[in-house]
């Protein structure tokens, strides 16, 4: 039995998402790039690369990881490239997407022989959180003035537009895409524009999502503007594929039944803290309710409240489901809490420990 805490990636569950992505690729004509900012655990790239076209990145390190470990197309994007990065970024990418006209012009000469794109900001998004809203007031993410973009059209062949955030509502996606068409249609229809990435944040692998309507909408957009459409699924690629396995270390009562486990949201599921959300657990319908807490010194280190079929005891193992997105890429050594190992359940059911972390890793992360 693997010592907790550890992330357990189940390839059979991952395969379900990959098959849905393959369906969308086939029926819409869109290409799919894994968004490494959400999930970059390359131990399962052998499976994912069979169903996806490549990767998209947010930094030099992600560009290199995608090129070396995933293969296929490699799209490079960053909010801002440094002078010391651009050469390596170009060497490891098929397309480079600049966030602003300023960056495009700054690196125009260096990228002259590269396929170049520019990020557009349509001013609308599906985000419920200001911190994650790419179209928030005074946003730095992309160009919003079509007239200014007109002046640099000779320098690019495509656009990236990322304004969906955890969007499981097809009608909302459809309406926002219509607004993009209205605002930027003149740019998109220019003959030199041959590709458009619609970014990630579209939960088309979720239950009951109208996939065929989604495919038809993507195909219509592609045909209207004569462009290759790209999608950048992050969460959609790995939803419900992974759990965080933990062990109960202590229980107590302080107005509520509490259980302390050998993990931490700040260190191992940071988005729960950032967005004030709770972890997920199934089943969650017993008569014994506990607040499950992390072991760090942060008072708000709480996974959430869950229902169990019996009282919890020290040594019990718990499993938080849907724990792949923005977890392994954000894990940290806060409080020196043990970094979760990473394990993979193969398609034949066997479980392999692919990475463990030690005290030496903690020491080497510091100075």
Tens digit of pLDDT for each residue in 120-140? Answer: 999 999 999 999 999 999 999
Same domain as 361, residue 266: yes
Residue numbers in the known binding site for substrate are: 235, 271
Same domain for 148 and 252, yes or no, is no
Instruction: Judge if 100 and 211 occupy the same domain.
Output: yes
Do 229 and 303 belong to one domain? no
- Is the peptide bond between 313 and the residue preceding it cis, with omega within 30 degrees of 0? no
Instruction: Output b/e per residue, 243-252; b: 16+ Cβ within 10 A.
Output: bbbbebbeee
pLDDT tens, residue by residue, 229-282:
999 999 999 999 999 999 999 999 999 999 999 999 999 999 999 999 999 999
Q: Is 33 in the same domain as 129?
A: yes
Measure the CA–CA gap between 161 and 119, rounded to whole angstroms: 6
Tell me: do 302 and 223 sit in the same domain: no
Q: Do 233 and 246 fall within a single domain? A: no
Indicate whether 228 and 286 sit together in one domain.
no
Helix extents (H) in 66-169: 86-91, 101-106, 146-150
The predicted pLDDT at position 340 comes to 98
In which domain, by residue range, is 42 found? 11-237
Residue 201 domain-assigned?
A: yes
Half-sphere exposure of 56 (CA within 13 A, CB side): 26
Mean pLDDT of the chain: 98
- Cβ–Cβ under 8 Å, residues 299 and 264: no
Q: Do residues 35 and 157 both lie within one domain?
A: yes
User: What residue numbers does the annotated binding site cover?
Assistant: 235, 271
pLDDT digits (tens, 9 = 90+) for 320-332: 999 999 999 999 9
**Do 73 and 101 fall into the same domain?**
yes
C-beta of residue 12 within 8 angstroms of C-beta of residue 253: no
Confidence bin at 191 (pLDDT 50/70/90): very high
- C-beta of residue 305 within 8 angstroms of C-beta of residue 284: no
Which tens digit of pLDDT belongs to each residue from 61-108?
999 999 999 999 999 999 999 999 999 999 999 999 999 999 999 999
Integer CA distances (angstroms), 144 to 98, 136, 154, 192, 343, in order: 13, 12, 18, 20, 43
The answer as to whether 172 is a domain residue is yes
Residue 3 domain flag = no
CA 116, 150, 190, 139: dihedral to nearest 10 degrees?
A: 60
Q: At what angle do helices 211-225 and 11-28 cross, to 10 degrees?
A: 40
Strands 242-253, 257-261: pairing is: antiparallel
CATH of the domain at 268: 2.40.37.10
Q: Is 316 exposed, middle or buried (0-12, 13-18, 19+ CB in 10 A)?
A: middle
**Token pair recorded at residue 298:** 């942060």
DSSP code per residue over 298-320: -TT-EEEEEEESS---TT-EEEE
Both 24 and 45 in one domain: the answer is yes
If asked whether residues 138 and 182 sit together in one domain, one would say yes
Domain boundary among 204, 237, 270: 237
Peptide bond before 5: cis, by omega within 30 degrees of 0? yes
CATH assignment at residue 139: 3.20.20.10
Using CA atoms, how far apart are residues 253 and 290, in angstroms rounded to an integer?
A: 9
Q: Which two tokens stand for residue 99?
A: 């966030």
319: how many CB neighbours lie within 10 A of its CB?
Answer: 15
Q: Residue 195: helix, strand or coil by DSSP? A: strand
């Amino acid at each position: 039995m693997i010592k907790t805490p550890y992330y357990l990636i189940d390839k059979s569950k991952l395969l379900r998402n990959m098959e849905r992505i393959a369906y969308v690729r086939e029926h819409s004509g869109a290409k799919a790039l894994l968004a490494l900012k959400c999930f970059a655990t390359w131990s399962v790239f052998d499976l994912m690369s069979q169903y996806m076209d490549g990767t998209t990145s947010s930094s030099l390190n992600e560009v290199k990881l995608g090129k070396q470990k995933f293969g296929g197309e490699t799209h490079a994007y960053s909010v801002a490239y440094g002078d010391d990065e651009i050469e390596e970024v170009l060497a490891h990418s098929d397309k480079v997407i600049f966030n602003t006209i300023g960056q495009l012009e700054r690196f125009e000469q260096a990228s002259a022989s590269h396929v170049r794109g520019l990020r557009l900001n349509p001013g609308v998004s599906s985000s419920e959180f200001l911190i994650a809203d790419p179209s928030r007031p005074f946003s730095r993410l992309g160009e919003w003035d079509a007239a200014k973009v007109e002046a640099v059209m000779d320098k690019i062949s495509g656009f990236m537009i990322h304004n969906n955030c955890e969007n499981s509502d097809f009608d909302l996606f459809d309406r926002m895409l219509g607004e993009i068409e209205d605002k930027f249609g003149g740019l998109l229809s220019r003959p030199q524009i041959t590709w458009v990435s619609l970014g990630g944040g579209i939960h088309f692998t979720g239950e009951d999502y109208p996939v065929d309507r989604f495919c038809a909408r993507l195909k219509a957009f592609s045909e209207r503007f004569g462009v290759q459409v790209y999608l950048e699924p992050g969460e959609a690629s790995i939803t419900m594929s992974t759990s965080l396995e933990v062990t109960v270390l202590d229980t107590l009562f302080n107005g509520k039944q509490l259980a302390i486990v050998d993990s931490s949201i700040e260190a191992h599921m940071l988005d729960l803290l950032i967005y004030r959300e709770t972890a997920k657990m199934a089943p969650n319908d017993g008569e014994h309710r506990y607040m499950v807490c992390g072991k760090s010194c942060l008072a708000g280190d709480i996974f959430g409240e869950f229902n169990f079929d019996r009282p919890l005891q020290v040594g019990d193992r718990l499993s938080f489901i849907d724990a792949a997105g923005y977890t392994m890429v954000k894990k940290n050594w806060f409080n020196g809490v043990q970094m979760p190992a990473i394990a993979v359940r193969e398609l034949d059911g066997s479980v392999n420990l692919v990475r463990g972390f030690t005290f030496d890793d903690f020491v080497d992360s510091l100075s």
